[in-house]
Structure 1
Amino acid sequence: MADKSKVAEQYYSKPPDLGKWESFRMFLWNSETGQVLGRTGSSWAKILLFYLIFYAVLVGFFAAMLAIFYQTLDSKMPKWQMDSSLIGSNPGLGFRPMPESATVESTLIYYRANDKGSVLKWASVIDEYLEQYRKKGSGGGEAAGAENRVPCSYSTGTLAEKQVCDVPVENFHPCTSANQYNYEQGGPCVFLKLNKIFNWTPQPYNTTEDLPAIMPEDLKHHIKTIEGKPDANMVWVSCQGENPADVENMGPVQYIPGRGFPSYYYPFTNKEGYLSPLVAVLFEKPRTGVLINIECKAWAKNIQYDRYERRGSVHFELMVDRS
């Protein structure tokens, strides 16, 4: 009689040969082992629980780091200012109207004075930019902060905590929207602005004692006529042709409403409603049909000038055609 206590020997049996479709079906669902995609339900539960806890801890860690990081920032004031920042303490000069975004590398203002469509194209670009200056809002939407703007002069005195100086562009005649910025008359207006640097305060050339040698003679003479007056506290502006031929072709210019940016607009401290002051440069009679290279500079003791790096200056080309 056989001994039932002995375990019967078991031999390895070759798994049945399955086709590709049958193997794939068994991978999706094995009815014998209860596996789905090669894992049992408890195995899937364990691995899902692991990744749930892992990513929850990861998200919590980065959320905590961001919360700590944002505690070090001020929404109204940059942490790094002036020379400690990437921008530095030397403001650049910008101009409007700018060419279309499709030709972003170009700085050419070209139009035909006898073509209304050409004139309106540039006038609309300036209108769009100056829209923010014309808003006199009631405290909401895009006009938020406009109610903080007040008329300023050198005799205004200290502004209230939330007040900023207004820039009355409607008084820049003939560089106004109603006059299409004088483009149809062949004497276009180009608007200059000083780029904003937080807490930067200009150190004006308000006497003739320390004027730089490269400053244009007409600007030196202008400073001499108002030396010692409050009006001399300006970031001065000058525009000249880059080459002798450009100087001759550019013709006379006017600076509206004045020869620079008044010092009472500074420093910029990110108050709501603040707008950079503007100077409209009216090119009275530029030679038509000729490309004119123009360089405009900002002048203050703490503005360094470098033509090649475009520090303290801006370059653009102007071409007025009447054909």
Structure 2
Amino acid sequence: MADKKGEQMYTRPPKLSGWDSFKIFLWNSETSQFLGRTGSSWGKILLFYLIFYAVLIGFFSAMLAVFYQTLDDREPKWKLEKSLIGSNPGLGFRPMPPDSNVESTLIWYKASDKGNVQFWQKQLDEFLATYEKENNPNYNNVEQCIPHQKPSKGKVCDVRLDADWQKCVKENGYNYDSPEGGPCIFLKLNKIYGWNPEYYNSTTVPDNMPQYLKSEIIEAEARNDYKYVWVSCQGENPADVENIGVIRYLPKWGFASQYFPFENVDGYLSPLVAIYFEKPKRGVLINIECKAWARNIIHDRTDRRGSVHFELMID
């Protein structure tokens, strides 16, 4: 019998079709294997990955908790020169062109086209909504400030869009539907935590500042009312200077000192300056550059530091 066993030959397993092989791979009743593994094998590998990912999640959560302990909800860890945004604020303008053309800086409308005018007015309504008491959930932190006097601790100064803004208020449609006059464009400084402007006076005004602004600063210093981040707007080219007409700055020439520094206090309102174009030439494109002036604001036209560019065209 032993000889017979030794003479037994290996028998080739039956040839299975692809579908039969797949069914056996899914469940092999002879070996009790599912997808090529027994139940105990699947249990061991699942237990390994459960422990592995639990440890990984625990480690990551612990590191994240330690990281958040180094952060402050209100004050950034890296400020001014140490931060990515630096200490040189830029200027922004409103209203902005449609979202369909996000790279455009052109304000183009037809004063006699009510629908076209309403688009720009709605943009300004939405932008200025937070300056209204009923739309500011932290308005209890807002107080009326005397010019150049800091607010109380934990409070911020109000920006009141009242009669001093003249044509640049909602009731007057920001002058976009005027048959002759031009529109109001609102300027604001980008917020930089802890940034304090260094103010110009009569002895520090730079040579490249517009002469009319130099004169305004000298007069303001005589009234002890010179602590502003001053604003100037001009046509970029000789043709633009000719076509832009008279510009008025409302309610003042710049951003007053009581709004600085920005410290992320609830209810803070960025100061605004409205640029009112009294009678720009119609039917032509006007390139406009506005600059913010303080001793620690550097102007760079390429990077648009300390300035903003936009175009105006009224049909």
TM-score (norm 1): 0.92
The corresponding residue for 2:295 is 301
Alpha-carbon distance in structure 1 between the residues aligned to 2:202 and 2:150: 28
The question of 1:165 aligning with 2:157 is answered yes
Change (3 A) 1:259 1:34: same
Alpha-carbon distance in structure 2 between the residues aligned to 1:43 and 1:96: 65
The corresponding residue for 2:253 is 259
The corresponding residue for 1:109 is 107
Q: Once superposed, which parts of structure 1, at least 4 consecutive aligned residues long, lie more than 3 Å away?
A: 6-11
The question of 1:288 aligning with 2:282 is answered yes
CA contact (8 A) 2:144 2:157 kept: yes
* 1:61 CA displacement: 1.0
Structure 1 residues 186-197: aligned runs within 5 Å: 186-197=181-192
The worse-fitting range, judged by mean Cα deviation, of 8-17 and 275-284 is 8-17
* 1:18 CA displacement: 1.3
Question: What are the Cα deviations for residues 167-211 of structure 1, in whole angstroms up to 9, with x where unaligned?
Answer: 112442210111110111131000000000000001111x21111
Q: Which amino acid aligns with 1:162?
A: G
CA contact (8 A) 2:150 2:259 kept: no
Question: What are the Cα deviations for residues 62-85 of structure 1, in whole angstroms up to 9, with x where unaligned?
Answer: 111111111111110111100001
Alpha-carbon distance in structure 1 between the residues aligned to 2:142 and 2:192: 20
What is the CA RMSD across the aligned residues, in angstroms?
A: 1.6
CA contact (8 A) 2:80 2:87 kept: yes
Structure 1 residues 72-221: aligned runs within 5 Å: 72-136=70-134, 143-154=136-147, 157-171=149-163, 172-185=165-178, 186-205=181-200, 207-221=201-215
* 1:144 CA displacement: 2.3
* 1:300 CA displacement: 0.3
**Unpaired segments of 5 or more residues in structure 2?**
none
CA contact (8 A) 1:255 1:281 kept: yes
Which of 220, 225, 230 lines up with 1:231 in the alignment? 225
Alpha-carbon distance in structure 2 between the residues aligned to 1:101 and 1:234: 33
* 1:318 CA displacement: 0.5
Alpha-carbon distance in structure 2 between the residues aligned to 1:23 and 1:81: 66
The corresponding residue for 2:29 is 31
CA contact (8 A) 1:175 1:280 kept: yes
Alpha-carbon distance in structure 1 between the residues aligned to 2:34 and 2:250: 79
Percent pairwise identity: 59
* 1:285 CA displacement: 0.3
The question of 1:17 aligning with 2:10 is answered no
The question of 1:279 aligning with 2:277 is answered no
The corresponding residue for 1:140 is none
Give the match's secondary structure for 2:37. Answer: coil
Q: Which amino acid aligns with 1:75?
A: D
CA contact (8 A) 1:136 1:147 kept: no
**Unpaired segments of 5 or more residues in structure 1?**
138-142
Alpha-carbon distance in structure 2 between the residues aligned to 1:8 and 1:309: 91
Change (3 A) 1:7 1:50: farther
* 1:158 CA displacement: 4.3
* 1:36 CA displacement: 0.8
Question: What are the Cα deviations for residues 67-126 of structure 1, in whole angstroms up to 9, with x where unaligned?
Answer: 111111111011110000110000000100010111111100011111111111100110
Q: Which amino acid aligns with 2:46?
A: L
Alpha-carbon distance in structure 2 between the residues aligned to 1:300 and 1:158: 19
Q: State how many pairs are aligned.
A: 311
